[in-house]
Amino acid sequence: MSEVQEKQVFSLPKCMKDVPTHFCPGCHHGIIHRLVAQTIDDLNLQDTSICIGSVGCSVFIYDYIDVDTVEAPHGRAPAVATGVKRARPENFVFAYQGDGDLAAIGLSEIVHCANRGERVTIIFVNNTVYGMTGGQMAPTTLVGQKTTTSPYGRRESKEGYPLKMAEMLAFLEGTAFSARVAVNNIKNIIKAKKALKKAFLVQLEGLGFGFVEVLSACPTNWHMTPLEANERVEREMMEYFPLGIYKDKLKDKK
Amino acid sequence: MYQDVIIAGFGGQGVMLIGNVLAYAAMEQGLNVTYMPVYGVEMRGGTANCTVVISDEEIGSPIIYHPKTLIIMNQPSLEKFQPRLVEKGLLIVNSSIVDESLVDKEKYYALAIPVNKIADELGDIRMANMVALGVWVGATKAVELDMVMKSMEKHMSSLKKQVVENNKKALLEGYKIGSGE
Amino acid sequence: MDKNRERMLVKGNEAIAIGALDAGVECYFAYPITPQSDIPEYLSRELVKLGGEFVQAESELASINMVLGAAACGKRAMTSSSSPGISLKQEGISYMAGSELPAVIVNITRGGPGLGGIQPSQGDYFQATRGGGHGDYRTMVLAPSTCQECYDLTIEAFDLAFKYRNPVLILGDAILGQMKEPITRWKQRTIDPNEANEWKLTGKKGREQRILKSLFLGDGEMEEHNMKLWKKYKSMEQDLKWEEFSVEDAEVVAVAFGSIGRIAKSSARKLREMGYKVGVFRPITLFPFPYEPLRKLAMSGKRFITIENNTGQMVEDVKLALCGVTDTEFFANMPGKVSTPEDFIEPIKKMF
């Protein structure tokens, strides 16, 4: 009888609390939280991180990621992050926002924060709906998509078009890194993690504002099974929201 | 000791400047003082006035409806403020451009002084405000002339020395008139 | 008067900015609005010179939330604005009160409603003293009436903000902001790096994670939180401030705050010259309001008239203070009208 040699190859990130999350089955927030936590571990930032919580499904981020956290009013996380970073430039400062928070009520704050080139990192979760309030139309809702407040589907003639934040912010001089990623499969998860790391690094190296938009599934509000929702990310979202790196001053530096 | 004055004229006549010079002088003399500016909407050419209150006691209101003294640099200001002056109050009027016949010399202690002309003769019509301030200081003795001179130097520190000297002359010229010398 | 003290002649707005510097403000974020723009102009120059942080924010919303962020780091942070801008900041002020974050917020009021105008008004009394934003909270409110008080109370406001972990509002107006008066700087700028050590965010190194938030969803959590806040607001009464001017032998006491308070003093002096015994009661903390001191005066049989540069806001607090003892007359100087001492003479005289 041979002894089985066990080697742990996968574990909870050090800065992630070992608690069940409140997220719905099939929601991508859990994966994205984990990637953020792993990046904090990889860059050894747990002790110096200050997280800005936002309003939406990610409101309880402080219950999952074990770093100092201040909660921002709806949409204002980039302004709070600015205040925190200006007060404590020696700390790593990041915010985690949803699409209603960042691209609707907080559009002004995110644009000006990026444009000032604040040394902060923003993780933006785009799932094309307001999740926590019950699946209403978001600024990222796709044309034709039915939500509780676009019951006939989003009409471009009335509601206009979904906002492409990664592209918009890449255009600003203060932005040092901007990318759109997804976590719908292993390949994309690996790419997402690389992008997150770069968005962290541009802050650490003082290059400017770091931004990662993550396409995310919301099976509950899309009225789909987790698998269907995962497929929709690839099938419908990526067509309108192409993945890619839109700005990378790290690369330009080299 | 208590004294107050409303200084009024066109924007650009330097009424705010002499208000500031006076307030600073009073402060340097150890008195309590308030300076309250009121601007017209226009930046240039509009009406401008300020109120300065000087006292050796605590000052209540920085705004006065019935002032004890007036420095009037233009016609509209005379029309606006003359009726508000307390009886027997000191009324200094720039008679170079204000219709003297409208000055109520019965009711007020009026000094109609052609301050524009005097300033012009001293070399620069823009010093008319300093002549007027000199008249007021001479007539009220509310602050010491020396203090006003010092305050002027401070407020004009960015100007050429000769300009400051000329302004002092203008102030002194007014002071003599105000004192009745 | 001590002639040796060094005095400077400054606007009320500048006195606030200087007070903030001497109080050790490290972060100041604001958006320009008349009649308080002297404050951002002064601090963008002088605070930056001292190594502090200044951001001209893209909006009032952003500026108050930058203050929230800096306050979370335990820094002495400030913003300033005027009435319409303060309305916009209410969201952030509510969150700060809920998260128990200290900061100084300056409101150099102007007339409203809406865009109103830049003329003087005390129309924001209710907004200032009743919280101003959503939820059941209060901010401490200090109302200076002289430029020296602008300086003194700004320094005190920072201390109180940290003492109570709560936003403190300075409520001034256009008269106070724009007038000049000598002030004496009595405080040397000091920064205490250990301030707020027990709660501020620094990164969790060597200790448990800290969370500063105003969301309380757990069973009974919100009730408990509100109870805690309410007790705190009650405890602020230990820092009540007011001024009594010639009240001792006064038959009639005018109650007025801020610039109207000082103007009423001139009215009282003039009335005394005419033989009328008039005094002035000037609340300096508007929240908490000095109910008890005012009630004490009422017990001694004095009559009251409340004078405001609005259509009647503080008068409600005065009525509460006097309730069951006596009542107060009210004289309204409409927002937009520049008050003079002469305006108050007739209404006060009528009470004799």
Q: Which pLDDT band, with edges at 50, 70 and 90, does C320 fall under?
A: very high
Q: Which pLDDT band, with edges at 50, 70 and 90, does B59 fall under?
A: very high
Residue by residue, DSSP assigns C205-218 as: TTS---EE-----S
pLDDT(B136) > 60: yes
CB contact under 8 A, B63 and C175: yes
Q: What is the ipTM of this complex?
A: 0.94
Q: Which helix (H) or strand (E) holds C87?
A: helix C83-99
Same domain, C195 and C256: no
With respect to residue A18, please indicate whether it lies within any of the assigned structural domains.
no
Chain B residue numbers with beta carbons less than 8 Å from the beta carbon of C268 are 60
Number of alpha carbons in the 13 Å side-chain half-sphere of residue C315: 20
Q: What is the mean pLDDT of residues A102-126?
A: 98
User: Quick one: pLDDT at residue A5?
Assistant: 86
User: Quick one: pLDDT at residue C6?
Assistant: 82
Residue by residue, DSSP assigns B36-71 as: EEEE-SSSSSSEEEEEEEEESS----S--SS-SEEE
Same domain, C122 and C32: yes
Q: Which pLDDT band, with edges at 50, 70 and 90, does C5 fall under?
A: low
User: Is residue A52 within 8 Å of A70, Cβ to Cβ?
Assistant: yes
Same domain, C125 and C40: yes
Same domain, C297 and C166: no
Q: What is the mean pLDDT of residues B140-166?
A: 94
Q: Are strands C53-56 and C7-11 parallel, antiparallel or unpaired?
A: unpaired
Torsion of CA C121, C86, C314, C10, to 10 degrees: -60
User: Quick one: pLDDT at residue C145?
Assistant: 98
Chain C residue numbers with beta carbons less than 8 Å from the beta carbon of B36 are 175, 178-180
Q: What is the mean pLDDT of residues B125-130?
A: 96
- Domain around C176: 7-203+226-238
User: Is residue A33 within 8 Å of A9, Cβ to Cβ?
Assistant: no
pLDDT(C14) > 50: yes
- Quick one: what percent of chain A has pLDDT higher than 70? 99
B64-100 pLDDT, tens digit per residue, is 999 999 999 999 999 999 999 999 999 999 999 999 9
Q: How far apart are CA A60 and CA A58, in angstroms?
A: 5
CB contact under 8 A, B27 and C9: yes
Q: What is the mean pLDDT of residues B28-46?
A: 77
C66-104 pLDDT, tens digit per residue, is 999 999 999 999 999 999 999 999 999 999 999 999 999
Same domain, C168 and C100: yes
- Domain around A237: 30-253
User: Quick one: pLDDT at residue A54?
Assistant: 96
Same domain, C234 and C245: no
Domain count, chain A: 1
The domain boundary, picked from C213, C238, C263, lies at C238
Q: How far apart are CA C217 and CA C109, in angstroms?
A: 36
Minimal Cα distance from A87: which residue of C?
Answer: C70
Answer whether A touches B (≥3 Cβ pairs < 8 Å). Answer: no
User: Quick one: pLDDT at residue C1?
Assistant: 43
**What would the two tokens of residue A178 be?**
């901007």
C73: closest CA among C214, C167, C199?
A: C199
Same domain, C79 and C173: yes
Same domain, C37 and C93: yes
With respect to residue C219, please indicate whether it lies within any of the assigned structural domains.
no
Q: What is the mean pLDDT of residues A193-200?
A: 98
- Average pLDDT of chain C is 96
CATH of region B2-179? 3.40.920.10
Same domain, C19 and C112: yes
Q: B3 - beta bridge partners?
A: B54
A2-53 pLDDT, tens digit per residue, is 678 888 888 999 999 999 999 999 999 999 999 999 999 999 999 999 999 9
Q: How do the domains of chain B map onto residue ranges? A: 2-179
Q: How far is CA A126 from its chain centroid? A: 7
- The conformational region for residue B115 under phi > 0 = left, psi -120 to 50 = alpha, else beta, is alpha
User: Is residue C5 within 8 Å of C184, Cβ to Cβ?
Assistant: yes
pLDDT(C2) > 60: no
Domain count, chain C: 2
Q: Which pLDDT band, with edges at 50, 70 and 90, does C336 fall under?
A: confident
Buried b (16+ CB within 10 A) or exposed e, A132-163: beebbbbbbbbeebebebbeeebeeeeeeebb
Interface residues from chain A to C (CB-CB < 8 Å): 46-50, 52-53, 59, 62, 66-73, 76, 79-88, 91-92, 108-109, 111-112, 116
Q: Which positions ≥6 away from A7 have C-beta within 8 Å?
A: none
Buried b (16+ CB within 10 A) or exposed e, C106-142: bbbbbbbeeebebbbbbbbbebbbebbbeeebbbbbb
User: Quick one: pLDDT at residue A1?
Assistant: 57
With respect to residue C214, please indicate whether it lies within any of the assigned structural domains.
no
With respect to residue C217, please indicate whether it lies within any of the assigned structural domains.
no
Q: Could you give the residue ranges of the DSSP H alpha helices within chain A?
A: 29-42, 61-64, 77-87, 99-100, 107-115, 156-159, 165-170, 186-204, 219-222, 226-232, 238-240, 249-253
In degrees and rounded to multiples of 5, residue B65 shows phi and psi of: -85, -45
CB contact under 8 A, A73 and C215: no
Query: Residue A17: what residue type?
Result: K
Same domain, C199 and C317: no
CA A184 to chain C, closest CA, distance in angstroms equals: 31
Q: Which of C65, C70, C211 sits opposite A62 (nearest CB)?
A: C211
- Quick one: what percent of chain C has pLDDT higher than 90? 94
CA C255 to chain A, closest CA, distance in angstroms equals: 38
Q: A37 - beta bridge partners?
A: none
In eight-state DSSP terms, residue A2 is P
Strands (E), A99-165: 121-126, 129-130, 136-137
Answer whether A touches C (≥3 Cβ pairs < 8 Å). Answer: yes
Q: Which positions ≥6 away from C49 have C-beta within 8 Å?
A: none
Q: Which of A46, A71, A76 sits opposite C61 (nearest CB)?
A: A76
In eight-state DSSP terms, residue C334 is P
Q: Which positions ≥6 away from A102 have C-beta within 8 Å?
A: A54, A75, A77, A78, A110, A122, A124, A165
Give yes or no for a cis peptide into C347 (omega within 30° of 0): no
pLDDT(C274) > 60: yes
CB contact under 8 A, C3 and B30: yes
Same domain, C247 and C230: no
pLDDT(A163) > 50: yes
**What would the two tokens of residue A169 be?**
């912010």
Interface with chain B: mutation pick from C6, C9, C260, highest number of B CBs within 10 Å: C9
Same domain, C233 and C267: no
User: Is residue C247 within 8 Å of C302, Cβ to Cβ?
Assistant: yes
Chain A residue numbers with beta carbons less than 8 Å from the beta carbon of C201 are 50, 68-70, 84, 88
Q: How far apart are CA C108 and CA C82, in angstroms?
A: 5
With respect to residue C34, please indicate whether it lies within any of the assigned structural domains.
yes
With respect to residue A147, please indicate whether it lies within any of the assigned structural domains.
yes
SS3 A59: helix
CA A70 to chain C, closest CA, distance in angstroms equals: 5
pLDDT(C209) > 80: yes
In eight-state DSSP terms, residue C316 is H
**What would the two tokens of residue C218 be?**
């757990």
CB contact under 8 A, C92 and A73: yes
- Quick one: what percent of chain A has pLDDT higher than 90? 94
Interface residues from chain B to C (CB-CB < 8 Å): 20, 23-24, 27, 30-38, 56, 58-66
Of A6 and C280, the one with more pLDDT: C280
Q: How far is CA A7 from its chain centroid? A: 32
User: Quick one: pLDDT at residue B42?
Assistant: 45
Q: Which pLDDT band, with edges at 50, 70 and 90, does B41 fall under?
A: very low
The CATH number covering residue A153 comes to: 3.40.50.970
